[in-house]
Amino acid sequence: MVVNKKQVAIIGAGPGGLTLAKLLQIKEANVTVYERDLNKDSRVQGSPLDMHEESGWAALRQANLIDEFKNNVRQGADKKVIVNEQAEIIFSDHETKLSGGLGNESARPEIDRGALRKIFLASLQPETVVWDSHFISMEGQNEGWMLHFKNGSSAYADLVIAADGANSKIRPYVTNIKAFYSGFTMVEVNVDDAAKATPHIYALLNGGKIMAFGNGKNILGGQKGIGGLGFYASFKPDASWATNSGLDFSDRSQVLGWFKKEYSGWNSIWYELFENAAMPVIPRPIYCMPLDQTWETLPNVTLLGDAAHVMPPFAGEGANTSMFDALELSDCLTSDQYNTLPEAIADYEVRMRKRAALAAKQSLENGERMHSAGALEKMLAVFGAK
């Protein structure tokens, strides 16, 4: 294999980075993961993940972690209701969805990001992950790179793999292609102790997730953490709205006032979210890499996940695509069919960009559908509910 006797450095201990580390270790490659979090107990942010059969599930199978995954699944969290802006249930699969349909192609079981991280960490060799390693820069040395971290440490690697997310500090070493604003912005709202804080919304979810559509806007949400809920109010402002709106996102009354105005006509039940949200709420402009992006392969550095192809979340492909990137990259790096490392990287990058472009196109199209006139009817059709 082309990484035999080479030191591989993965920057970032997210789903993609840890999947790659596990798969490389199975093939006895020498790999180290550098992660900016202080330690393994740092809280992992973000919504729960649903594993897709052809991507996330495929990676978990090759990593021999299916049983551990099943033991940490959020039972019932993949069930959903679709409602209108008045919070009237138009569709629910709570009575019809298979319970615990793990391994079934139609099932997309959900897991907390923190739980998934713990599964991978427990499966890796001791000291694989070097914590408190915030990547700052790197410079060419010999045939590889000398990496420098914020804590003052440095390390050498023959091959560097960027799994450090949408704001990757390694991507500029590979390409100067920038992401573009997708046209969508989400305001992230988190609620703790939701059964008490937001009883009406909590009851509406019934342990699953919710999709609400109306007036060209939507609210998406579901279970998040122990007793918590996570929601995203998604709409289509200009790219600079988050900085130019004048809103203090730490001010509950200002945020609630914004919601009442922006989501005019929506039922007051939704106010419950903003009246009880953990402050600050977080505005998130949504970006996407150009679908036709390409770059010249480098012999000792490559990208996976959001570092390579950040995309809108409207197809649920982010973490799944990242994990499948790891699966394909590990196959290329440990295969005997390539004569050189650059050849293996180039083959991976061509396939990765093609897959990512298709997923991003689908996500952009879904985003437009979800924010369009008649979004409710269109989304019901997507889920076969109409």
Residue 65 lies in a domain: yes
Residue 376 lies in a domain: no
Residue 194 sits in the same domain as residue 321: no
Please report, for the domain that includes residue 221, its CATH number. 3.30.9.30
Instruction: Provide the pLDDT for residue 128.
Output: 98
Residue 307 sits in the same domain as residue 265: no
Tally of domains in the chain: 2
User: What are residue 31's DSSP bridge partners?
Assistant: 8
Instruction: Provide the pLDDT for residue 44.
Output: 65
Residue 90 lies in a domain: no
- Whole-number Å distance between alpha carbons of 375 and 366: 10
Residue 201 sits in the same domain as residue 276: yes
Residue 299 sits in the same domain as residue 152: yes
Residue 165 sits in the same domain as residue 44: yes
Name the domain boundary from 253, 288, 323: 288
Please report, for the domain that includes residue 56, its CATH number. 3.50.50.60
- Whole-number Å distance between alpha carbons of 71 and 61: 14
Residue 312 sits in the same domain as residue 267: no
Question: Greater confidence, 241 or 315?
Answer: 241
Residue 149 sits in the same domain as residue 172: yes
Collapsed DSSP state (helix, strand, coil) of residue 96: coil
Phi, psi of 132 (to 5 degrees): 55, 40
Per-residue model confidence as pLDDT tens digits over 147-156: 999 999 999 9
Residue 378 lies in a domain: no
> pTM of this prediction?
0.92
Residue 353 has pLDDT above 80, yes or no: yes
Residue 386 lies in a domain: no
Residue 56 sits in the same domain as residue 191: no
Least reliable range by pLDDT among 275-279, 316-320, 349-353, 378-382: 316-320
Full residue range of the structural domain in which residue 236 is found: 180-288
Residue 8 has pLDDT above 90, yes or no: yes
Centre a 10 Å sphere on the Cβ of residue 232 and count the other Cβ atoms it contains. 20
Name the domain boundary from 251, 269, 288: 288
Residue 149 sits in the same domain as residue 220: no
Residue 209 sits in the same domain as residue 242: yes
Residue 308 sits in the same domain as residue 273: no
- 113 a known binding residue? yes
Per-residue model confidence as pLDDT tens digits over 79-134: 889 999 999 999 998 877 654 444 443 467 788 888 899 999 999 999 999 999 99
Residue 145 sits in the same domain as residue 54: yes
* CB neighbour class for 223 (10 Å; exposed up to 12, middle 13-18, buried from 19): buried
| Amino acid found at 26 | I
Instruction: Provide the pLDDT for residue 101.
Output: 44
Confirm if 115 and 124 have CB atoms less than 8 A apart: no
Per-residue model confidence as pLDDT tens digits over 277-326: 999 999 999 999 999 999 999 999 999 999 999 999 998 777 889 999 99
- 93 a known binding residue? no
Residue 313 lies in a domain: yes
Residue for token pair 């996570």: 230
- What is the residue-wise DSSP string for 92-124? E-TTTSPTT-TT-TT---EE-HHHHHHHHHHHS
- 369 a known binding residue? no
Residue 373 lies in a domain: no
- 347 a known binding residue? no
Sign of the torsion formed by the C-alpha atoms of 338, 340, 343 and 345? positive
